[in-house]
Amino acid sequence: MRIAITRTGGFAGIERRAELDTTGRPDATHVKALAHRALDTGPEACATARGVPDGFQYEITVDGRTIHCADPHVSPEQRELIQLVLKEGA
């Protein structure tokens, strides 16, 4: 499974992008389940949720399926996946 996350916005407006491939990872089962939950918990909420000024917006793509969401309307599953892929706080 390939997971790509793009974070835009924030005070400085700097874009950050990272990808993760679950192939061969010891935690692949957990990451795959997390990715599926992250996609399933958000499409409708993300589509209607507006971000906040200087907040981050996220594009989460898992095997070609993409959702968009923005702080503070990021689900716990989405936040965990974002932190895992970007390797920093979300």
Query: Can you give the pLDDT of all 90 residues of the chain as single tens digits?
Result: 999 999 998 888 889 999 999 999 999 999 999 999 999 975 555 555 567 878 899 999 999 999 999 988 899 999 999 999 998 655
Residue-range definition of the domain harbouring residue 10: 2-86
Closest residue by Cα to residue 78 from 42, 32, 44: 42
pTM of the model: 0.86
CB 38 within 8 A of CB 77: yes
Asked if the bond preceding 43 is cis, omega within 30° of 0, the reply is no
pLDDT at residue 83, as a whole number: 95
Q: How many domains would you assign to the chain? A: 1
